[in-house]
Structure formats: C-alpha cells, structure tokens
Amino acid sequence: MQGCSAETDAADYDRAVSDFLDAARLVPLLAGTGWGPVTVVARTGSTNADVAALARAGAGHGTVLVTPHQQAGRGRFARVWSTPPDTCVAMSVLVRPRLALAHWGWLSLVAGLAAVAGVAASSGVEATLKWPNDVLVAERKLCGILSEAVETPAGWAAVLGIGINVALGEDQLPVPTATSLRLEGSDAAAHAVAAAVLVALDRLYARWDAGESLVADYRRSCGTLGRRVRILVPDGAVEGLAVDVDAAGALVVDTEAGRRTFAAGDVVHLRPADAGPGGFRTPPPGSPTGGR
C-alpha cells in the first residue's frame, strides 16, 4: 500500500498519488463530516482488506482509505476483480455503529443510497439501485459496494467499500454490462465524485445510526421495485415481481407460490421475454398508483 495521509502537503500528494485523483482537493471537501483520518494511496490490493486490518489494529470510527488503482478488489460471494490505474475510485470507510449488530444488514443499502446521491450531485448522472446495492445507469453497473463486519479488540466494526467507475473507456470495461461516468457523458473529476459520495454517506449513515428509517429513501432510489426479477439463491432460482423492501432491508417478491422475502441473493432484472409464466409489471410502492 503506497500513498499519503491527509496531513501531507500538496506537493507530496502529487508525488504519491496521481493527477487523476487529486487528494489535496479531496480532503478539504470532507470538512465538517465525521470522516477522518483520510488516506489516499496510489495503489493497493483491496481497500476493504486494508481498512479491516486497520480496524483490528485499533483504528477509530471514520477512518477512510481511497485509491485510484485497486488491484485485488473483493466483491460479494468472494468475487475478485481489479481495475486499470486512474480510471476508477475505490474507497473504504470504517464505522463503529451504535445500533445492534442485528441491524447492520442495512449498511450496504445505506452505502448504495450514498453512491446514488453522490454521483448525481457531482456528475449529474442519475443512477438507480438494483437490490441490494448495485448502482446502475440504464441497467449497466456503475458502482459496486461491499460491506463487511470485522471483529476488533474494541468490539465489532464494519467496513463499507465503494467502487466507482469514473473514466473507464468502452474497451476497458470488465464486462459489457458495466459503464462509467465518462461513458455516460460526464467529465466529473475523481476527487469531486469521491467527496460527494462520502459527504452523502456521512449524512445517511448519521440518520441510520440514530435509528431513523431509510426505507422510504431506498424505495425512491430502487429500480428493482415493480420489476420482474429472478433471485439466485443457494438452492436455485426464484422468479417473481419485486414489490417492496421491508424494514430490515429485505426484498419482498410476489411469486407464483406466494409472497417471499429475501435477505440475500443475486438479483437479475428480467425483460418481458425473459420472464416465466405470469410475468407482469406494476408501479413500485410509493408511486401515485403503486400499492403495498
């Protein structure tokens, strides 16, 4: 892990990181938030792994690590991936919630909401969430999120990892179903995008940790609701209509066998031609004609 801390002067930032991610401009934008210290590194294997190690070594709530080159990022279900240098922003935040561990399933959803809000504020690109936390633009993935619980000497903590495709070209996409802010027509600077997401995360995390429900916020940003979906779970796949997200953050799906609730699983948004028998679409909860 090579980089510099928030205390380093601007000249050292330029030497330690890259022109793509201007750390000297990033850190001041986080003034007034609960985040810090903020460290920006030129490259690392996994920001989540690094912050988890810092947590076990006694790092405090609000510790942030950011890089423009993640070489061994980790996703859900132990997936491993990397990005070309100076095309993406990967960052991880250490939090020590006051709420009981049983409520921490919401942290991934909170991070997803922050990514949607921060991307819109910094770039003008409007994204939606595919449950639970994939950030999509026109069904193409813009951001990925991974939250992990970490046992530390001071008790349990959580690491919230967010990866944002900022400047990937079409020929650099990891899969055809991905996208980037550049491909969506935005030239937003990486430091501005990272800062906006972290500012949004600070606001949303504070609300959640104070016990406020974010269900209504999530429903407004979730593109899965009202869609015909296929849920991939360990014992197979289930198809149905996604109708709600409940108070625990679980996805509620109407299937041919009845209403089911999923706390985890990979979701595929189905087109009408992909759906099984009985495929249909209705407005999501909270819309003028949608119900719950």
- Residue 221 to residue 78: CA distance in whole angstroms: 26
Q: Is the pLDDT of residue 207 over 80?
A: yes
Answer for the pair 292, 156: CB distance below 8 angstroms, yes or no.
no
Q: What are 238-279's pLDDT values in tens digits?
A: 999 999 999 999 999 999 999 999 999 899 999 865 655 444
CA distances to 68, 215, 227, 279 from 107, in Å: 23, 12, 23, 32
Q: Which fold has domain 224-292?
A: SH3 type barrels. (2.30.30)
Out of 73-77, 170-174, 242-246, least confident range: 73-77
- Residue 239 to residue 55: CA distance in whole angstroms: 39
DSSP codes of every residue in 121-156: HHH----EEETTTEEEETTEEEEEEEEEEEEETTEE
Instruction: Name residue 156's beta-bridge partners.
Output: 151
Q: What are 102-135's pLDDT values in tens digits?
A: 999 999 999 999 999 999 999 999 999 999 999 9
Looking at residue 71, what is its pLDDT?
Answer: 84
Mean pLDDT of 63-90: 80
Contacts of 40 (CB under 8 A, 6+ apart): 3, 4, 6, 13, 16, 17, 21, 23, 26, 27, 65, 66, 67
Out of 65-74, 89-98, 155-164, 204-213, least confident range: 65-74
Annotated domain spans of the chain: 2-220, 224-292
How many secondary structure helices (H) and strands (E) does the chain include? Answer: 6, 15
224-292 matches 2-220 in CATH topology: no
Looking at residue 18, what is its pLDDT?
Answer: 72
Per-residue burial over 111-136, b if 16 or more Cβ lie within 10 Å, else e, is: bbbbbbbbbebbbebebbbbbbbbbb
Q: CATH classification of 2-220 is 3.30.930.10, yes or no? A: yes
Mean pLDDT of 212-218: 98
